[in-house]
């Protein structure tokens, strides 16, 4: 039996959602979830990628023995006085006491960045199974010479020799490489630079030094004279003709013995051929400097005066020969660098580093790197690879046999040590980033030439011995400095503008003002940076007093206008509709700004007087002792503030406008004024949204690049001086990345800057979200 539908009765099927709509809704829900998850995965992936690039910066060196080649039968371990390595560490030169030197081939080892290697060829990659025959070279030191002193200049590839019969000899080592069938072969030769006698013939030389700056040459020796020792120095001259350079001969001779208290034991001559360092058995260090036609004793001190063991076991130059690496008999390792001390006018040595870990005793061999500030010290079977700039121990371990002589390959990828077992032990060295580490990136470092430890950033220099300065602290301070000054300028304008627009402006004008401000956000930052550099910086350089008056006058005038307007009779105020007050206010605002700007020079002449005239830049330098630059943080703060204002204004205005109208109506109905309603009801209710606006503006400012690059001197400065420049993390990445070789220390350090920026933004946003939720709960009204 069927029943008919009663007219007017609702049909349930009419209100049922169609299957297609449910499918679309379900699909969009999953799509939104997948999109959100993809965003999280993408952000996490970026973080992991950046972190992966940064991790190697904080890794220590790895050293692994790969070869042990026995010395030729003619060479006794006890007769080895020095070893010098070629660039690849494949053909070291071993110098013997009898006046001969031997080139000893080693199996080839290619580092991962050596483009000349054919890694597909196992013989090329791991070394041929049959090594070439060692090549013995006569150093031409006369009949039956005995070497009593041998100093190796690894950077200049020189061997400085002193003999038992009083002769000084300098030999230069030349290496040549050739390629055949993808394999590299290296040959070596020795040039006779000079052989001369500085002191008495027949008396042994204890120690010898030689310096050659191309324009000046110096030689110095310590010569044994019975029970006493004499220290002799000489400038050298070399005649040059159309046929080339002539023989090197002594010019002016100096006897420094009388200026030395004690018995001279060690001697060094710097490459600049201007300084001589003498060390005595008592542990005194004397620094002689060539001034005019004479050597003057510029400094005398005891490097280990505060230690029980004052005797200096070893002392050698670090790369660049501005710093001395010294150890005492207890194994304490210190570095002394040349710098101008307060009150002095000349550079003298002062302690700048001390390594935390001691050697078992004084260093018995020393080998500097010719690529960076690393050096190798050994005592017995203990070998320690250290880095001078950061005073870091990159690697330390025990080796197979007590070390007699050591060297580091030119590519800084191989360590060579001659042991008492008559073998050359070759070690693969993997230390791609020795200049990095926590101390170098975030600690104060006493750099060469500086008079105190400091944070500094300078990634490149003009010489090979330059030490990179890679501190993140100046960049972090620069980022915060620019952000703080930008927010100081932007926050009052943006938030007060948002309050006025949302609470007091007529809706008809609001429809125009808000889109115009939002359009400001689309201005390219490169345009703002260009305007800051070309127009604003030159404008403000001598008009800061005018800007001060404007900053003081405008708020004062606004408060005065509001007070006067509130005190006027209603008959006068009613002539202007609510929300139209700015028609009277803006002309007065503009007039006040013009008058204040025009009175700036008068204000400057009255307040900022220097030498009888108004001069704010000089007044600032004189009174504060700080610098005053044309492109400074003030310029950046103003122009970056313009970039941040639209973002903060828009979000804050939306937050204020979204406060329920019932709250405003209730407040006004209870007798509150429009100002009281805005400040006591609307603003607290919208505080969570306003705080979010401020944090988003902070993120926009801290990540700004082009304005900072173009409007500041881009100098990494530590101070918060508003008239100084700065360099931010983001600007540093933009400036340095074109010059950063792939996977180099600088390349990874820039990724560290990106990681810091990433983490800083993440932390700020997390804190902001917690604060926003707290404010939302505190001031919720519905």
Question: Per-residue confidence at 8, pLDDT binned at 50, 70, 90?
Answer: low
Average pLDDT over residues 616-632: 90
Please name the residue that has the structure tokens 């070399």. 238
Whether 196 contacts 249, CB under 8 Å: yes
Least confident of 120-124, 198-202, 229-233, 737-741: 120-124
pLDDT at 127: 42
- What are the two backbone dihedrals, phi and then psi, of residue 776, each rounded to the nearest 5 degrees? -65, -40
Question: Per-residue confidence at 519, pLDDT binned at 50, 70, 90?
Answer: confident
Whether 600 contacts 546, CB under 8 Å: yes
Question: Per-residue confidence at 12, pLDDT binned at 50, 70, 90?
Answer: low
Average pLDDT over residues 444-454: 92
Distance of alpha carbon 557 from alpha carbon 552, whole angstroms: 9
Distance of alpha carbon 294 from alpha carbon 285, whole angstroms: 19
pLDDT at 133: 87
Please name the residue that has the structure tokens 């060295």. 429
Class of domain 62-112+130-441: mainly beta
pLDDT at 6: 61
Least confident of 97-106, 466-475, 674-683: 674-683
Least confident of 40-54, 271-285, 584-598: 584-598
Distance of alpha carbon 222 from alpha carbon 241, whole angstroms: 33
Nearest to 81 by CA among 200, 175, 164, 201: 164
Kind of pairing between the strands at 374-379 and 365-368: antiparallel
Question: How does pLDDT run across 312-368, given as a tens digit for each residue?
Answer: 999 999 999 999 999 999 999 999 999 999 989 999 999 999 999 999 999 999 999
Question: How does pLDDT run across 638-670, given as a tens digit for each residue?
Answer: 999 999 999 999 999 999 988 888 888 888 888
pLDDT at 335: 97
Distance of alpha carbon 142 from alpha carbon 99, whole angstroms: 9
What's the fold here for domain 473-540+631-781? MetI-like fold (1.10.3720)
Nearest to 130 by CA among 107, 102, 155: 107
Q: Give the orientation angle of helix 473-503 with respect to helix 745-779, to 10 degrees.
A: 30
* Residue predicted with more confidence, 715 or 2: 715
Q: What b-and-e string marks burial along 171-204, b requiring 16 or more CB atoms within 10 Å of the CB?
A: bbbebeeeeeeeebebebebeebbbebbbeeebb
pLDDT at 451 over 70: yes
The residue count of the chain comes to 782
Q: Which residues pair with 229 in a beta bridge?
A: 224
Tokens for 445, please give them: 């470092």
Average pLDDT over residues 698-718: 87
pLDDT at 111: 54
pLDDT at 118: 40
Question: Per-residue confidence at 7, pLDDT binned at 50, 70, 90?
Answer: low
pLDDT at 663: 86
Question: Per-residue confidence at 148, pLDDT binned at 50, 70, 90?
Answer: very high
State the average pLDDT for the chain. 88
Least confident of 149-153, 187-191, 451-455, 584-588: 584-588
Distance of alpha carbon 15 from alpha carbon 23, whole angstroms: 17
Burial of 270 (0-12, 13-18, 19+ CB in 10 A): buried
The pTM (predicted TM-score) of the whole model is 0.87
Least confident of 57-66, 165-174, 460-469: 460-469
Please give the radius of gyration of the chain, using alpha carbons only, rounded to the nearest integer: 38
Question: Per-residue confidence at 155, pLDDT binned at 50, 70, 90?
Answer: very high
Nearest to 447 by CA among 395, 391, 366, 493: 391
What's the CA dihedral at 451, 454, 458, 460 to 10 degrees? 60
Average pLDDT over residues 72-89: 93
pLDDT at 522: 84
DSSP for 56-86?
GGGPPPEEEEEEEEEPPTT--GGGEEEEE--
The beta-carbon contacts of 412-415 under 8 Å, at least 24 apart in sequence, are 412/369, 412/370, 412/371, 412/372, 412/374, 413/89, 413/109, 413/111, 414/85, 414/88, 414/89, 414/109, 415/63, 415/367, 415/376, 415/383, 415/385
Least confident of 177-186, 540-549, 621-630, 692-701: 177-186
* Residue predicted with more confidence, 585 or 605: 605
- Percentage of the chain lying above the pLDDT 70 cut: 94
pLDDT at 125: 41
Say how many C-beta atoms besides its own lie within 10 A of residue 443's C-beta: 14
Tokens for 478, please give them: 């620069």
Quick check: do 62-112+130-441 and 473-540+631-781 share a fold?
A: no
* End-to-end alpha carbon distance in the chain: 56
Spans of all domains in the chain = 62-112+130-441, 473-540+631-781, 542-629
Question: How does pLDDT run across 83-121, given as a tens digit for each residue?
Answer: 999 999 999 999 999 999 999 999 887 654 454 444 334
């Amino acid at each position: 039996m069927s029943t008919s539908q009663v007219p007017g009765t609702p049909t349930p099927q009419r209100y049922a959602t169609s299957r297609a709509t449910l499918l679309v809704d379900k699909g969009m829900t999953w799509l939104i979830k997948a999109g959100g998850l993809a965003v999280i995965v993408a952000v996490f992936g970026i973080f992991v990628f950046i972190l992966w690039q940064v991790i190697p910066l904080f890794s220590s060196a790895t050293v692994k023995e790969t070869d042990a080649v026995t010395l030729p039968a003619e060479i006794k371990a006890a007769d080895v006085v020095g070893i010098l390595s070629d660039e690849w560490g494949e053909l070291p030169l071993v110098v013997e006491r009898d006046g001969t030197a031997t080139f000893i081939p080693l199996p080839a080892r290619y580092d991962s960045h050596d483009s000349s290697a054919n890694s597909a060829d196992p013989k090329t990659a791991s070394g041929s199974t049959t090594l070439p025959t060692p090549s013995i070279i006569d150093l031409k030191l006369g009949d039956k010479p005995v070497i009593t002193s041998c100093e190796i200049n690894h950077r200049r590839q020189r061997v400085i020799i002193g003999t038992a019969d009083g002769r000084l000899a300098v030999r230069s080592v030349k290496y040549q490489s050739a390629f055949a069938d993808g394999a590299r072969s290296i040959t070596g030769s020795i040039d006779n630079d000079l052989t001369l006698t500085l002191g008495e013939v027949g008396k042994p030389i204890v120690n010898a030094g030689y310096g050659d700056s191309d324009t000046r040459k110096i030689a110095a020796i310590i010569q044994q004279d019975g029970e006493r020792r004499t220290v002799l120095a000489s400038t050298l001259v070399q005649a040059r003709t159309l046929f080339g350079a002539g023989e090197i001969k002594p010019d002016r001779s100096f006897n420094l013995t009388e200026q030395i208290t004690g018995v001279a034991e060690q001697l060094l001559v710097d490459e600049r051929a201007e300084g001589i360092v003498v060390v005595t058995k008592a542990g005194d260090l004397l620094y002689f400097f060539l001034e005019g036609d004479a050597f003057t004793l510029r400094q005398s001190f005891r490097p280990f005066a505060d230690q029980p063991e004052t005797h200096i076991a070893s002392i050698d130059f670090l790369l660049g020969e501005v710093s001395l690496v010294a150890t005492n008999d207890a194994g304490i390792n210190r570095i002394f660098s040349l710098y101008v001390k307060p009150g002095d006018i000349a550079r003298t040595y002062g302690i700048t580093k001390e390594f935390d870990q001691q050697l078992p005793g004084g260093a018995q061999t020393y080998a500097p790197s010719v690529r960076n500030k690393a050096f190798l010290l050994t005592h017995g079977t203990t070998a320690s690879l250290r880095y001078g700039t950061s005073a870091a121990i990159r690697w330390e371990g025990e080796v197979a046999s007590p070390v007699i002589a050591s060297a580091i390959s030119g590519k800084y990828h191989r360590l060579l040590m001659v042991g008492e077992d008559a073998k050359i032990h070759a070690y693969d060295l993997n230390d791609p980033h020795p200049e990095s580490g926590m101390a170098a990136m975030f600690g104060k470092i006493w750099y060469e030439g500086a008079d105190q430890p400091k944070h500094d950033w300078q990634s490149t220099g003009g010489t090979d011995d330059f030490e990179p300065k890679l501190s993140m602290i100046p960049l972090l301070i620069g980022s915060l400095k620019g952000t703080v000054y930008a927010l100081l300028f932007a926050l009052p304008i943006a938030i007060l503008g948002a309050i006025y627009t949302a609470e007091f402006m007529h809706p008809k004008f609001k429809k125009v003002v808000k889109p115009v401000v939002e359009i400001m956000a689309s201005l390219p930052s490169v345009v703002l940076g260009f305007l800051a550099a070309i127009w604003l910086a030159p404008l403000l350089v001598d008009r800061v007093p005018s800007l001060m008056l404007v900053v003081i006058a405008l708020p004062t005038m606004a408060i005065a206008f509001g007070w006067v307007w509130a005190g006027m009779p209603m008959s006068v105020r009613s002539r202007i509709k609510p929300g139209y007050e700015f028609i009277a206010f803006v002309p007065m605002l503009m007039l006040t700004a013009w008058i204040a700007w025009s009175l700036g020079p008068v204000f400057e002449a009255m307040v900022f007087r220097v030498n009888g005239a108004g001069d704010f830049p000089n007044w600032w330098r004189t009174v504060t002792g700080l610098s005053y630059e044309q492109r400074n943080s003030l310029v950046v703060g103003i122009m970056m503030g313009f970039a941040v204002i639209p973002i903060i204004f828009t979000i804050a205005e939306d937050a204020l406008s979204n406060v329920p109208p019932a709250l405003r109506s209730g407040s006004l109905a209870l007798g509150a004024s429009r100002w009281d309603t805005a400040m006591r009801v609307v603003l607290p209710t919208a505080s969570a949204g306003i705080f979010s606006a401020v944090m988003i503006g902070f993120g926009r400012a801290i990540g700004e690049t082009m304005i900072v690059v173009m409007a500041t001197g881009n100098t990494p400065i530590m101070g918060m001086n508003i008239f100084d420049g700065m360099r931010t993390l983001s600007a540093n990445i933009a400036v340095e990345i074109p010059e950063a070789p792939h996977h180099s220390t600088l390349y990874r350090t820039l990724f560290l800057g990106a990681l810091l920026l990433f983490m800083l933004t993440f932390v700020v946003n997390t804190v902001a979200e917690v604060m926003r939720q707290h404010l939302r709960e505190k001031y919720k009204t519905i």
